[in-house]
Structure 1
Amino acid sequence: MLLIRARGKDGTFRLELSADQTVLDIKKLIEKETSIPHSSISVTKFREKTPLKNTDTVQGSQLKHGDMIEFVYDTTQHKSKQEVEEEKKSQLRDSEDLDNLGLRERKKHWTLSEYLDLVNQVKITIKHQKYAICSTAYLDQLVGQSFQQFLLQTRFQFQRFAFLYGETKEGKKPQPTEEEKKKATKDENINVDDDYLDVYIKVLFEPKQDSTPEGFKQVEDTVFNDRADTLASMLGMKKVGWIFSHDGQREYPLLGPEIIKAAEYQSKYGPSFVTITACPNEIGEIQFEAYQVSKQCVELWEKGLLSENPENLEFLIAKKQVEIERKMTNDIDALLLVSNVAIAPHKSSFQVGFPPRNRPGNEMFQNMVELKSVLLERRSQKFVQRVSDFDLLLFLTDYLSLSSDFPGLCEAVLSQNNSQATIFEELINAYCGIN
């Protein structure tokens, strides 16, 4: 076995070769070291200009143990290993992802002050966000009552979740005290410069899910999930939150898995997206509470730094150490990541009454007989009011075209224009058997 040294733009490498190996084998070994395709590499003996042929053997090229060979390639077509690494470092510097850069790679000479500034820049200090971006969540009274009644009637045999659709409006900015302003740079993250929004929840949609007394899990149902989103959009609404129920046997408002999910939703649907819980109080009444996770929590989730703690759901695990109360740790108390949101009732133009899709026990009511019954119960109302029911309209997507029928129908419902809605009255009545 011979030891041959290969020198080029990427450095000098030691290659172990046998006498019968070829120059092509040498090029392939250089490719492993440099990532330059072997077909682009030219090899010469040290201080010689004539390239060696691929078929030449080590012995035939008169290479001896300890000899040096030189390799070159077209630098306009390929970058050296050092150039590739420097580009990666430059990208890291530009993206401020300093965790993956060593001190020497960032700067050659350091003062103590500069080093401490760098530590504070890279270090993640968990701060509590006192004021949520969603200043108030207004929940439609009928929507809230319907969800409450189902939970009470089933005696919490099912834990449920639903998406909330509505709109956002400019909210009132918080007015922190002078003491709170001083704390903002130390303990609390008060986002007084953010755009604070009020969320108006008008309808809810319960996706297909497996529900048990212990929890819920969404089941894939792309067709109807997309239909619900499309229908809501035609009615001038978007996803503004989610709601879930629990049995109330907890001290923390949101547990680790729920915080992870809330962070995902706020990242996907916007910073005003709200989380509402429904649980029994001490006397068995269902109460609603609203929350958001902090902006910092969303950022940590987006960077892939947060995971739930299966051994203690009141804590989350940070994948790199963070500073909490001047101590470095991987465990984050869930309370530090949650902000309270005020909740209040309001009344929208939508009704409830048609059985919600996917709710346990409602499968038998998803039919034209039930549609006829609901419409006849509302016969004292104008037709546009009778069909201003999100669950009723969602049911009708099985029979009317989303692309050709619903734009006009939804426009009538949105503007409460009865003359425009009556264009569909005869068709819908014919479907359900109303003469």
Structure 2
Amino acid sequence: SSNILEAGLGMLLRLRSRDGLERVEVDDNATVAVLKQVINQKLNIPLHDMHLSKNPNLLTSKAPQDIADLDNGSKGLKAVGVNHGDMLYMLYSGERQVQPAFKRSWLDVRPLGHATTAAEIAAKQPRISRQEEAMVASLSFDRDAANHFQSYVQSALAFSIKRGGFIYGTVDESMNVKAEFVYEPPQDGTSMHLTLHRDTEEEKQVDFLAGLLGMKKVGWVYNQSTEERDFIMHADEVKQVAMLQDEIGDYCTTVIVSWEPASEEVPSGQVHFEAFQCSKQCVQLTKEGWLQSTPEGEK
């Protein structure tokens, strides 16, 4: 059976209990019941003793059964508003030893009596830094493949919703990427979000045939809708880019196709193809759960 995974990975969820913070990963199309089974198997919490909610009041409630937003086991997680990276609250009886979700800082493990200087603190602070050099030297896109993708998006969808596909091609020793064709898997798109259906037999066959031709996945392409925006990517798109780079490799390139409406300078409108990558630090921050999904209705 196929799994529906957003940008190639499962749904990572954080679980806050009275004993600490833990994480579990489930398929993107999992139900509430599947999530509880995963928690039962990985964290050894009995199903009959487990209460879950998006409401932090669960942890202090004297009547947890009254907080029932995640009680319907047959509901899909997304249907009840649970998305990748979300924090859920978990209540159970008794106490457990919970492993720290994050490594202790150097301040926590320094020797007793050690005098910490301001310079040491400044040197140890994590910083968001710019990556000086791109991992990919260049990207060339086969004209027919690019035209076939954008023509369908333009003629059938009028750039009103997002559509995407995986780019297959080659990478040379100097990290020059050559995109030869696009495979568009089954998917669900809206004006702001795109979910690709992954791990299907069809995708496996495409991977196999591409390999026979000396090619492999080298990235992905998606179009932006005509909905007005003052940014290149929103948070969910950045996370998708980072997770695909982690899956495919440093040569993974994201190509965004956008539509410039007709104007005096361009009377008939114009389609733009732009290539992007996120930094290695961004990939790592995404894997560790630092990037959060865009709240519904916000940018």
Please report the TM-score for the alignment, with normalisation by the length of structure 2: 0.58
Distance in 1, Cα, partners of 2:132 & 2:230: 19
Do the aligned residues in 1 keep the contact of 2:165 with 2:220 (CA within 8 Å)? yes
For 1:143, the equivalent position in structure 2 comes to: 145
Distance in 1, Cα, partners of 2:298 & 2:213: 38
Distance in 2, Cα, partners of 1:212 & 1:119: 44
- Uncovered stretches (5+) of structure 1, i.e. residues with no partner: 1-84, 172-196, 315-435
Q: Does 1:245 align with 2:223?
A: yes
For 1:278, the equivalent position in structure 2 comes to: 257
Alpha-carbon distance change, 108 to 215 in structure 1, aligned in 2, over 3 angstroms? closer
Alpha-carbon distance change, 130 to 280 in structure 1, aligned in 2, over 3 angstroms? farther
Give the match's secondary structure for 1:134: coil
Of residues 222, 229, 251, the one that matches 2:200 is 222
For 2:275, the equivalent position in structure 1 comes to: 290
Of residues 283, 290, 295, the one that matches 1:305 is 290
- Uncovered stretches (5+) of structure 2, i.e. residues with no partner: 1-96, 263-268
Shift of 1:264: 0.5
For 2:243, the equivalent position in structure 1 comes to: 264
Q: Does 1:198 align with 2:198?
A: no
Do the aligned residues in 2 keep the contact of 1:169 with 1:199 (CA within 8 Å)? yes
For 2:155, the equivalent position in structure 1 comes to: 153
Give the match's secondary structure for 1:308: coil
Shift of 1:267: 1.0
Give the match's secondary structure for 2:179: strand
Aligned length: 194
For 1:162, the equivalent position in structure 2 comes to: 165
Q: For residue 262 of structure 1, what is the amino acid of its counterpart?
A: V
The one-character-per-residue Cα deviations of 1:2-50 (angstroms, maximum 9, x if unpaired) are xxxxxxxxxxxxxxxxxxxxxxxxxxxxxxxxxxxxxxxxxxxxxxxxx
Distance in 1, Cα, partners of 2:254 & 2:198: 21
Distance in 2, Cα, partners of 1:117 & 1:132: 31
Shift of 1:253: 1.5
The one-character-per-residue Cα deviations of 1:355-414 (angstroms, maximum 9, x if unpaired) are xxxxxxxxxxxxxxxxxxxxxxxxxxxxxxxxxxxxxxxxxxxxxxxxxxxxxxxxxxxx
Alpha-carbon distance change, 216 to 97 in structure 1, aligned in 2, over 3 angstroms? closer
Shift of 1:219: 3.1
Q: Does 1:207 align with 2:210?
A: no
For 2:112, the equivalent position in structure 1 comes to: 108
Distance in 2, Cα, partners of 1:223 & 1:309: 31
Alpha-carbon distance change, 305 to 259 in structure 1, aligned in 2, over 3 angstroms? same
Do the aligned residues in 2 keep the contact of 1:143 with 1:204 (CA within 8 Å)? yes
Greater helix proportion: 1
Shift of 1:246: 1.2
For 2:210, the equivalent position in structure 1 comes to: 232
Shift of 1:130: 4.6
Do the aligned residues in 2 keep the contact of 1:159 with 1:246 (CA within 8 Å)? yes
For 1:20, the equivalent position in structure 2 comes to: none
Shift of 1:292: 0.6
RMSD over aligned CA atoms reads: 2.8
For 2:129, the equivalent position in structure 1 comes to: 127
Distance in 1, Cα, partners of 2:164 & 2:153: 11
Q: For residue 286 of structure 2, what is the amino acid of its counterpart?
A: W
Do the aligned residues in 2 keep the contact of 1:257 with 1:313 (CA within 8 Å)? no
Shift of 1:255: 1.4
Alpha-carbon distance change, 107 to 206 in structure 1, aligned in 2, over 3 angstroms? same
For 1:183, the equivalent position in structure 2 comes to: none
The one-character-per-residue Cα deviations of 1:132-157 (angstroms, maximum 9, x if unpaired) are 21121111111011112112212224
Alpha-carbon distance change, 220 to 163 in structure 1, aligned in 2, over 3 angstroms? closer
Distance in 2, Cα, partners of 1:221 & 1:269: 14
Do the aligned residues in 1 keep the contact of 2:234 with 2:294 (CA within 8 Å)? no
Do the aligned residues in 2 keep the contact of 1:208 with 1:221 (CA within 8 Å)? no
Give the match's secondary structure for 2:152: helix
Do the aligned residues in 2 keep the contact of 1:210 with 1:216 (CA within 8 Å)? yes
Give the match's secondary structure for 2:277: strand
Shift of 1:312: 7.8
The one-character-per-residue Cα deviations of 1:276-300 (angstroms, maximum 9, x if unpaired) are 1011014322110110111110111
For 1:46, the equivalent position in structure 2 comes to: none
Distance in 1, Cα, partners of 2:197 & 2:252: 22
Q: For residue 110 of structure 1, what is the amino acid of its counterpart?
A: H
Q: Taking CA–CA contacts closer than 8 Å with sequence separation of 6 or more, which of the two structures ends up with the larger relative contact order?
A: 2
Distance in 2, Cα, partners of 1:148 & 1:212: 17
Give the match's secondary structure for 1:259: helix
Identical pairs, percent: 27
Matches within 5 A, 1:411-422: none
